[in-house]
Chains A and B, each alone.
Chain A
Amino acid sequence: MLSVKDLAVRFQTRRGPVDALRGVDLDVASGEILGIVGESGSGKSVTAYSIMRLLEAGGQVVDGKVRYAGVDLAGASDREMADIRGREISMIFQNPRSALNPIRKVGDQIGDVLRRHARATRYTARKEAIKALEAVRIRDAEARVDAYPFELSGGMCQRVVIALALACDPKLLIMDEPTTGLDITTQKAVMDLVVDLIRDRGMSAILITHDLGLASVYCDRIMVMKDGEVVERGTPAGLFAAPRHAYTRRLIDATPRIGATIRELLPVEARTSAPVRETDGTVLLEVRNLVKTFAGKSGPVHAVRDVSFSVRRGQTLGLVGESGCGKSTTSSMIVRLLDPTSGEIIFNDEDLTLTPSRDFARDHRRAKIQMVFQDATDSLNPRHSSRQSIAEPLDRLGEGATRMRVEELADLVGLPRALLDRFPHQLSGGQKARVGIARAIALDPDLLILDEPTAALDVSIQAVVLNLLIDLQARLGISYLFVSHDLNVVRLLCDDVIVMQGGRIVEQGSAEQVMRAPATEYTRSLIAAAPQPPAIRNQQ
């Protein structure tokens, strides 16, 4: 149905031409779902954009053929392409919120597409839009059709985007990381829905993702890309059973899965024995009856309702839940960026809530509680070099940053010293994460709050960063509070786990016990939502 031959794309940049794609071949048969898997920079999105002829100005298709149902897409006029997009081939973009026009009602946006392709008139557009929303199983579509994107949750927005993409019954759907930024349970709901719809309507699809696990669950065939080239193709089961290319092997290894230890995420040659931690099991942090209530426009919002737990010295506690469950509010209060409404935070036998958060910046205990942020890019000052970022806490709270100490920290987190004078935009995601970690451990904190530190990273980088974190813990004896929605990762890193829902703790216990025998339905749904790759042949 779709056939791409020898596709090559080149981008003109400040540093000269860059080959984004080199000789990519792919075929999608009727009724088939093809997965394109690769890490950032592998060219998987560029492939999709060049099929749709949506490449940005700097990019140019230099070679290759794209044929869709006998039509040469590369040679089609802009007018023909406009007809094909939406009616024949549709696309779902990465960030559903930015794919929708924020100042127009979702129903009007769906109506536009329908009218553009003569599927509805001005008078029937609303009715057809409701139908389209019902097709993606949005409850109460009659009311939602008049909603603006900001009134809908992320998962709901993605459903609207899917409704938009499917409104004109396209034959081929291209999904570019459709679940990035969604909770793991929402991811499952959205993917189940879209794959159901694709199968029902006998459509074909291309799923672009960095998550090999996700692709293996939903795709018929998988194609692995690296540096603009296809390195391997096969069925999910075949690929996992016997990966032929070393890169596929690395990707499979790095995908968190049941039964694998944290060291087994690394490539075989990089595996060392797991570090030994020495802990006396005494309590470092105790949170008692923590409550946070925000004043909302329509009454008070209870973000955290009466939460109590403790973190032991040198160990890791996982704080798990979907977005909006109160886990970020809880961690903000512990790291003292936010004052609780009531409750106590006992750290090293002192109640931290006695010092208000605005005075805590100059408190002597500030250095002892530090944090690694979710988005490494956002957490680094764009005007500061890595060296300045790492030196900042040393200068403000420590004895002053010496060149030696900064370089020692860089070595500790595996950041090449040559990168210390670069600005954040000159670093890769993994390197930025290392800078963030180096800054957080610069003052030898007792407690480090890790707020989804690997959420924005590729799986192979995630594997390295997770391993770095456990090495640092063993070496420096830091306690971690690991905040995440991904149980696959929590399982690897944490000794104990707390599951939060609606501002309350619904389950707590050792990681092993919570994973094996979850006590609540909610925890079970979280565990079930994580995509599990097909069983992997024992590697050693």
Chain B
Amino acid sequence: MSAVTDTRADGGGTFGHILYVLRGNPVTALSFGMFAVLIVAAIFGPYLVPHDPMASNAGSALQAPSWTHWFGTDNLGRDVFSRVVVATRLDLVISVSAVALSLVAGSVLGAAAGYFGGWLDAVLNRIMDTIMAFPLFVLAMGIVAALGNTVENIVYATAVINTPFYARLVRAEVNIRREAGFVQAARLAGNSDIRVLAMHIFPNALPPMMVQMSLNLGWAILNAAGLSFIGLGVRPPTAEWGIMVAEGANFIVSGEWWLAVFPGLALMFAVFTFNLMGDGLRDIVDPRQRT
């Protein structure tokens, strides 16, 4: 390692540490770059795209990729490239909010179960077992079908099926630290049980949570796209990767492959990005990685 890295690692604080992690692991740096692309597309997408994603033009329907239409056009003559880019926002919003919800719910439930134990632990564990006993996608379908066909309900359904994973993970991490020396010391320092749990034990569970979270973002996107694909949740003509793949699938047989392939690739790109980010995120939130 170079001398520059050394001084950074020593005095750089959080920012310096992030830089160090990115330098030390090119894959992490690449994944953060890919994530930046996704964020830019989500925030500025509608202002950057060359065509109106909703404007149909019967005259130029089903055109193959060209310089005017990079990803070609669909059966209504809409620009596939513009639709793929604009869809990023909706897909990210669904997956990020679903994961955030399940992270919060899972953390609270898992931490309480792991710390207090006893009947609370037993009851919460059985509830989580019950959720996990269902085929998760079918459960999500059921929830959306029961609650109504809206974007919010996709978020709730995705959050519910992901919560047990966080709860399990947090429970285990909290449980092994419940009697650790630093926890005893925190009690001696006058911390109440809730404070010990929230300020001392829980933050130590964050590194593995980060890995889980980034993998989960990938699943959540696939899940949302899957629901749209079978016609639940987001409705046409809204631009969304899952719907676009579903609509495009009809045209693959007749040779218009670009309708399904490009949104599919965007989906793959997003899932791949999140999967790659996991290790990097863990290293960033783990102070033990700072030397």
Question: Which residues of A pack against B, CB within 8 Å?
Answer: 14-16, 335, 337, 358, 361-362, 366-367, 370-371, 373-375, 378-383, 392-393, 396-397, 423, 425-426, 436, 439-440
In addition to A371-B185, A439-B185, 14 A-B residue pairs with Cβ atoms within 8 Å of each other are: A14-B5, A14-B291, A15-B1, A337-B187, A337-B188, A367-B190, A374-B181, A378-B181, A379-B181, A381-B185, A382-B288, A383-B203, A383-B287, A423-B290
Question: Which residues of A have CB within 8 Å of B191?
Answer: 361, 392, 396
Q: Interface 1/0s, chain B 280-291, versus A by CB < 8 A?
A: 000000011011
Q: A15-B291, A381-B204 are in contact. Are A393 and B181 (CB under 8 A)?
A: no
Interface size on B, residues (CB 8 A): 24
The answer, yes or no, to whether B25 is at the interface (CB within 8 Å) is no
Q: A15-B1, A381-B204, A397-B189 are in contact. Are A423 and B287 (CB under 8 A)?
A: yes
Q: A16-B1, A383-B287, A425-B288 are in contact. Are A397 and B181 (CB under 8 A)?
A: no
Question: Which residues of A have CB within 8 Å of B180?
Answer: 378
Shortest Cβ distance from residue B132 to the other chain A in the assembled complex, whole angstroms: 25
In this complex, what residue of B is CB-closest to A373?
Answer: B181
The answer, yes or no, to whether B200 is at the interface (CB within 8 Å) is yes
Question: Which residues of B have CB within 8 Å of A15?
Answer: 1, 6, 291
In this complex, what residue of A is CB-closest to B20?
Answer: A14
B288 near A423 with CB under 8 A, answer yes
Q: List 27 A-B contacts (CB under 8 A).
A: A14-B5, A14-B9, A14-B291, A15-B1, A16-B6, A337-B187, A358-B193, A361-B190, A361-B192, A366-B190, A367-B190, A370-B188, A371-B185, A378-B181, A379-B181, A380-B181, A380-B185, A381-B186, A381-B200, A382-B287, A383-B203, A383-B204, A396-B190, A397-B190, A423-B288, A439-B185, A440-B188
For window 180-225 of B, CB contacts with A under 8 Å fall at 180-182, 184-193, 200, 203-204
Question: Which residues of A have CB within 8 Å of B185?
Answer: 371, 373, 379-381, 436, 439
A378 near B182 with CB under 8 A, answer yes
In this complex, what residue of A is CB-closest to B179?
Answer: A337
Contact of A426 among B5, B184, B186, B291 (CB under 8 A): B291
Question: Which residues of B have CB within 8 Å of A14?
Answer: 1, 5, 9, 291
For window 27-61 of B, CB contacts with A under 8 Å fall at none
- What CA separation (Å) do A15 and B24 show in the bound complex? 12
Shortest Cβ distance from residue B190 to the other chain A in the assembled complex, whole angstroms: 4
Q: Interface 1/0s, chain B 249-291, versus A by CB < 8 A?
A: 0000000000000000000000000000000000000011011
For window 149-198 of B, CB contacts with A under 8 Å fall at 180-182, 184-193
B190 near A393 with CB under 8 A, answer yes
Contact of B189 among A16, A335, A383, A393 (CB under 8 A): A393
B182 near A426 with CB under 8 A, answer no
Shortest Cβ distance from residue B115 to the other chain A in the assembled complex, whole angstroms: 13
Question: Which residues of B have CB within 8 Å of A436?
Answer: 185
A396 near B189 with CB under 8 A, answer yes
Contact of A380 among B182, B190, B192 (CB under 8 A): B182
Question: Which residues of B have CB within 8 Å of A362?
Answer: 190, 192
B182 near A381 with CB under 8 A, answer yes
In this complex, what residue of B is CB-closest to A14?
Answer: B291
- What CA separation (Å) do A370 and B186 show in the bound complex? 11
Question: Which residues of B have CB within 8 Å of A337?
Answer: 184, 187-188
In this complex, what residue of A is CB-closest to B2?
Answer: A16
- What CA separation (Å) do A382 and B201 show in the bound complex? 10
A361 near B187 with CB under 8 A, answer yes
State the main secondary structure of chain B at its contact with A. helix
A373 near B184 with CB under 8 A, answer yes
Q: A15-B1, A15-B6, A358-B193 are in contact. Are A392 and B290 (CB under 8 A)?
A: no
Q: A14-B291, A382-B204 are in contact. Are A392 and B187 (CB under 8 A)?
A: no
B190 near A379 with CB under 8 A, answer no
Question: Which residues of B pack against A, CB within 8 Å?
Answer: 1, 5-6, 9, 180-182, 184-193, 200, 203-204, 287-288, 290-291
Shortest Cβ distance from residue A276 to the other chain B in the assembled complex, whole angstroms: 30
- What CA separation (Å) do A396 and B180 show in the bound complex? 20
The 10 A-B residue pairs with the shortest CB-CB distance in the complex, in nearest-first order: A379-B181, A396-B190, A378-B181, A393-B189, A397-B190, A381-B182, A392-B189, A373-B181, A423-B287, A425-B288
In this complex, what residue of B is CB-closest to A391?
Answer: B189
Question: Which residues of B have CB within 8 Å of A380?
Answer: 181-182, 185
Shortest Cβ distance from residue A414 to the other chain B in the assembled complex, whole angstroms: 20
Shortest Cβ distance from residue B176 to the other chain A in the assembled complex, whole angstroms: 12
Question: Which residues of B have CB within 8 Å of A383?
Answer: 203-204, 287
- What CA separation (Å) do A440 and B204 show in the bound complex? 22
Question: Which residues of B have CB within 8 Å of A358?
Answer: 193
Question: Which residues of A have CB within 8 Å of B6?
Answer: 15-16
In this complex, what residue of B is CB-closest to A396?
Answer: B190
- What CA separation (Å) do A371 and B188 show in the bound complex? 8
Shortest Cβ distance from residue B161 to the other chain A in the assembled complex, whole angstroms: 30
Question: Which residues of A have CB within 8 Å of B5?
Answer: 14
Shortest Cβ distance from residue A334 to the other chain B in the assembled complex, whole angstroms: 12
- What CA separation (Å) do A362 and B288 show in the bound complex? 31
- What CA separation (Å) do A16 and B5 show in the bound complex? 11
- What CA separation (Å) do A362 and B290 show in the bound complex? 34
Question: Which residues of A have CB within 8 Å of B182?
Answer: 378-382
Shortest Cβ distance from residue A531 to the other chain B in the assembled complex, whole angstroms: 28
- What CA separation (Å) do A366 and B186 show in the bound complex? 12
Question: Which residues of B have CB within 8 Å of A425?
Answer: 287-288
Contact of A392 among B186, B203, B204, B288 (CB under 8 A): B186
- What CA separation (Å) do A426 and B1 show in the bound complex? 18
Question: Which residues of A have CB within 8 Å of B9?
Answer: 14
- What CA separation (Å) do A426 and B9 show in the bound complex? 12
Shortest Cβ distance from residue A437 to the other chain B in the assembled complex, whole angstroms: 12
- What CA separation (Å) do A374 and B182 show in the bound complex? 11
A393 near B291 with CB under 8 A, answer no
Interface centre among A371, A381, A392, by most chain B C-beta atoms within 10 angstroms, is A381
- What CA separation (Å) do A381 and B191 show in the bound complex? 14
- What CA separation (Å) do A147 and B173 show in the bound complex? 29
Question: Which residues of A have CB within 8 Å of B187?
Answer: 337, 361
In this complex, what residue of B is CB-closest to A390?
Answer: B189
- What CA separation (Å) do A397 and B203 show in the bound complex? 22
Question: Which residues of B have CB within 8 Å of A373?
Answer: 181, 184-185
- What CA separation (Å) do A15 and B4 show in the bound complex? 11
Shortest Cβ distance from residue A66 to the other chain B in the assembled complex, whole angstroms: 30
- What CA separation (Å) do A367 and B6 show in the bound complex? 40
Shortest Cβ distance from residue B185 to the other chain A in the assembled complex, whole angstroms: 5
- What CA separation (Å) do A368 and B184 show in the bound complex? 16
Shortest Cβ distance from residue A432 to the other chain B in the assembled complex, whole angstroms: 11
Question: Which residues of B have CB within 8 Å of A335?
Answer: 188
Question: Which residues of A have CB within 8 Å of B193?
Answer: 358, 361
Question: Which residues of B have CB within 8 Å of A439?
Answer: 185, 189
Shortest Cβ distance from residue A149 to the other chain B in the assembled complex, whole angstroms: 19
Interface centre among B189, B190, B200, B288, by most chain A C-beta atoms within 10 angstroms, is B189
B290 near A426 with CB under 8 A, answer yes
Shortest Cβ distance from residue B44 to the other chain A in the assembled complex, whole angstroms: 36
